A and B are shown apart, each in its own frame.
Chain A
Amino acid sequence: MTASPAAAEAATAATGPGPAPSPATPRRTAPATPARTPRGGALLSRTAVNAALLLVTAYTLMPLAWLVLAATKNRRDLFATGPYAPGDFSLLANLGEVFTYDDGIFGRWLANSLLYTVVGSTLSALTSVACGYAFHAYEFRHKEKLFGVVLAGILVPATVLQLPLYLMASAAGAVNTYGAYLVPALVNPFGVYLARVFAEGYLPDEVLAAARVDGAGELRLFAHVSFPMLWPGFVTIFLFTFTAIWNNFYGALTMLNDERLYPVSLGLFMWNRSVYQQPELYPLVITGSLVAVVPLVLAFLGLQRFWRSGLTAGAVK
């Protein structure tokens, strides 16, 4: 495979007298081929290398396999059978219980999570791309200093900001609203950084200049010329923000205490907290976790090339 499919695409898209190569452009696109075959003991070390890789695979997949299997067991079998031994198949019963418990609050949590992540990451990726684009396309005073501020913003720990944000939201009477959880998530300095990297790779100055000559206004230039070319960058940033919001447990814990507003992770946390008093919740927590994980895992498998190009753009610089 190539180091970065999207970057390779960019390299082909960026025709014309070579713009500066994108930082993500692989210098060696051919896959590692047997050109580097070792000499003696090849068979042994080949087995050793792949065995080591398989061992780590077992480690990374073991908890997920447990989760899938545990979700199919009823509460009695969960404790009575071995961890990897099947019990009575109760997945459907468990699912039914998850979605009907407490008037179907779990479905609402899922919907909330979906709302937070989709709306949040769309808006966030849009502002990031626009901002990164502006850093690439325009010259203005203190440009690099401002970019430095963005970079510093990447290093400010989010959890440090959360408490003052909570207090500000509480002063503004905004605690326990969708906005209190969502607005802080819109700012993504790392996204701006990525967007600038992408713009440098995908948007040759010649294209911008040509469009201006053709009489495109600045807004039109962004919306109709630049944005389509930055589309892979947009999707990548969208995915990054998506996971960040889906993962933002601390933010939810501080900002929301109305359980109808919970995202799914906070809801599961609350169920899990009562599990010691109400052991009948065990199958709910486990099956609920599976339901919360599966869509994300599927999305990642489907959208691999985007996250990989994002990782690479951030890394190979």
Chain B
Amino acid sequence: MAPFFLLFALVTVAPIGYAAWLSLFREERSGLGFGGARQVFSGIGNYTKALSDPLFLASFRHVAVYCLLYIPVMVGGALVLALLLDSALARARRFFQIAFYLPHAVPGLIAAMVWLYLYTPGLSPVLDVLDSAGISWNFFGRDEALLSVVNISAWQWMGYNMIIFFAGLQAIPRETLEAATMDGAGAVRTAFQVKVPSIRPTLVLTVLFTCVGAVQLFDAPQLLQLRATEMGESWSPTMYVFSAAFKGHDYGLAAASALLLALVAGAASYVVTKLGNRWRSA
């Protein structure tokens, strides 16, 4: 136990403290440009700087829209798939489970890279199909890029969550389901009025983890913006932190924006948990 907490302190607690400390300073270079940088105390200066930076605010807007699209699509999709698989009608359950889960075994960056190619004109089978239907679509457009990111995430995580939901559904006592059928509930009604409510805790937990993940969105947009240049290098909050630190070399600003990001993540998890608890007891 001791080794864990020692490491935990080193790589979780200490960085937060260090970031908090750093965020209070800004670097000032002497007027002549030599003699190195000097740390100057700036109080909440870095925080106001981040909060008044349109790029920073836009990055949160992107993630908010992303969540609005991604969470219903992914969680809803996973739930429907799990219900379909749990229904007596499904065949070859094992095969489908593996097929749905496989994308998750692909590292996130490589998944994004494969989709990047599938979005590229000349390589993309998707675009060929759209073309033959007379639709022109640019996956790298300013607005379309967001959908492209949502698709990559959904592809990666739907099967993973489907497995979790499916396990939950399989654990529902048989008697409950038989009672529902005796009472004359059809398959669809049983699914939504008996099965779904009984895996509520799992659903809440999934949404919670999905939110925590969404705030950290980095791999896919970082890769996409190589092609979708309109996205810019600060498209998501994590990308903003990264470019503030490594492109702008403004560690104070980067630390402050990282902590603001942690704050938003914390607030989001809090809201989800609260809403979840209310829904659970409803």
Contact = CB atoms under 8 A, between A and B. Distances in A.
Given A66-B114, A127-B4, A164-B19, A157 B216 contact: yes
Contacts of B114: 63-64, 66-67, 289
Interface in A40-72: 42, 45-46, 49-50, 52-53, 56-57, 59-64, 66-67, 70
B54 interface: no
Nearest to B18: A164
Contacts of B22: 164, 167
Given A131-B4, A166-B245, A250-B238, A292 B99 contact: no
Given A63-B114, A268-B110, A269-B109, 7 more contacts: A27-B172, A50-B91, A161-B11, A165-B11, A187-B8, A192-B4, A297-B105
Interface in A134-170: 134-135, 146, 150, 153, 155-161, 163-168
Interface of B: 1, 3-5, 7-8, 10-12, 14-16, 18-19, 22, 77, 81, 84-91, 93-94, 96, 98-111, 113-118, 122-125, 128, 155, 158-160, 163-165, 167-168, 170-174, 177-178, 181, 186-187, 201-202, 205, 208, 212, 215-216, 218-219, 223, 226, 238, 241-242, 245-246, 251, 254-255, 258-259, 261-262, 265-266, 269
Nearest to A272: B113
B7 A32 contact: no
B261 A157 contact: yes
A19 interface: no
A187 B88 contact: no
A82 interface: yes
Given A38-B187, A157-B262, A316-B171, A49 B117 contact: no
A59 B102 CA distance: 11
A249 B170 CA distance: 35
Interface of A: 1-4, 26-28, 30-38, 42, 45-46, 49-50, 52-53, 56-57, 59-64, 66-67, 70, 78-79, 82-84, 127-128, 130-131, 134-135, 146, 150, 153, 155-161, 163-168, 183-184, 186-187, 189, 192, 243, 246-247, 249-250, 253-254, 265, 268-269, 272-273, 276, 285-286, 289, 292-293, 296-297, 299-301, 304, 308, 311-312, 314-317
Nearest to A50: B91
Given A127-B3, A157-B261, A189 B8 contact: yes
14 contacts: A27-B173, A28-B171, A35-B174, A36-B187, A49-B87, A60-B158, A63-B111, A131-B4, A159-B238, A164-B255, A265-B109, A268-B109, A272-B113, A292-B107
Contacts, number: 272
A316 B122 contact: no
Given A164-B255, A168-B14, A246 B107 contact: yes
A294 to B, nearest CB: 10
Contact of B105 (A63, A134, A296): A296
Contacts of A247: 107-109
B164 A165 contact: no
A45 B191 CA distance: 15
Main SS at interface, chain B: helix
Contacts of A83: 123-125, 128
Nearest to B206: A315
Contacts of B251: 163, 167
Given A128-B4, A155-B266, A249 B261 contact: no
Given A83-B123, A163-B19, A184 B11 contact: yes
Contacts of B14: 164, 168
Contacts of A78: 123
Contact of B258 (A2, A163, A289, A316): A163
Contact of B170 (A28, A61, A146): A28
Most A Cβ at <10 Å: residue of B7, B205, B212: B7
A83 B121 CA distance: 11
Given A32-B170, A130-B4, A64 B12 contact: no
Main SS at interface, chain A: helix
Nearest to B202: A315
A4 B104 CA distance: 19
A3 B96 CA distance: 15
Contacts of B88: 32-38
A12 to B, nearest CB: 17
Given A38-B88, A130-B3, A183-B10, A155 B212 contact: yes
Contacts of B125: 62, 66, 82-84
Contact of B100 (A57, A63, A84): A57
A161 B16 contact: yes
B238 A61 contact: no
Please provide the 4 A-B residue pairs with the shortest distance between their CB atoms, ordered closest to farther: A164-B15, A83-B125, A134-B1, A131-B4
A15 to B, nearest CB: 22
Contact of A131 (B1, B106, B113): B1
A1 B107 contact: no
B106 A297 contact: yes
A175 B104 CA distance: 30
B11 to A, nearest CB: 4
B132 to A, nearest CB: 12
Nearest to B3: A127
Most B Cβ at <10 Å: residue of A2, A36, A300: A36
